[in-house]
Amino acid sequence: MEPIIQIKNVTKTFIGKDNQVEALKGISLDINKGDIYGIIGMSGAGKSTIARIICGLIRPEYGDIYFKGTHIVGAEKTFQKEFRTQIQLIPQQPYLSLDPKQKVGSSIMEPLFVHKLVKQKKQAQTCAYQLLHSVRLERDIFTRYPGQISGGQAQRVVIARALAVSPELIIADESTSMLDVSAQAQVIQIYKRLIKEQNVSFIFISHNLPLVKAFCSKVYGLQNGMLSLMKGT
């Protein structure tokens, strides 16, 4: 079976005013459909850099990313927009991902219109309510603004918005680190259900080793720019 995502020999260096940091040093990783892989490392280790490269937000100096056999990212390869629905990033700080002046319902409906997945507003509203239900949020959240909901609720809204485009790969970048233990558990349960019901592939990025081990089938450690499989996973 061909991997859904292939990371091949990816290297990324950030150049500062007085120094340069080699965040990734030729890392490689294959992920199959339905896989749940964790990437763990200290802050600044390069975990978010991996996520941003896969999503096409930044380019590597060397190496390539393949999605279902198609070359989508490389030093000379611009990320193809048709893959933006298939690969979705769930960020660490949900409030920064939501327009404070836009109601939750509109935020969830927006990608449906952008990617021409619906034709009528009523159809989009129905889909948005279904998505809210799928992440265990009440219908009245639809008419609230981000500032009127909790951090846990905001994170689930971001998940619902990502699910609106039916992705095949979700990258959760420290998506539970800003939440309390109860909210973390709720988000992880949502992730588990998505994987079971929709066979979504998952890259779960975190610094919380016990949480990653409990959730992921394999855990990779990122240190000094090098990625390696952790023992016991």
Spatial distance between the Cα atoms of 108 and 124, rounded to a whole number of angstroms: 9
Does position 232 have pLDDT exceeding 70, yes or no? no
Instruction: Please give the backbone phi and psi of residue 216, each rounded to the nearest 5 degrees, phi first.
Output: -100, 150
61-77 residue pLDDT tens:
999 999 999 999 888 88
**Distance in angstroms (rounded) separating the CA atoms of residues 9 and 168:** 23
Tell me the pLDDT tens digit for each residue of 140-159: 999 999 999 998 899 889 98
* Per-residue pLDDT tens digits for 94-110: 888 899 999 999 999 99
pLDDT for 148? 94
Q: Which residue from 94, 177, 199, 75 is spatially nearest to 137, judged by alpha carbons?
A: 94
Average pLDDT score over residue span 146-174? 90
The reported pLDDT for the residue numbered 233 is 62
- Residue 179 pLDDT more than 80? no
Which DSSP letter does residue 17 get? S
Neighbouring residues of 137: CB distance < 8 A, sequence distance ≥ 6: 153, 156, 157, 160
Phi and psi at 80, nearest 5°, equal: -85, 130
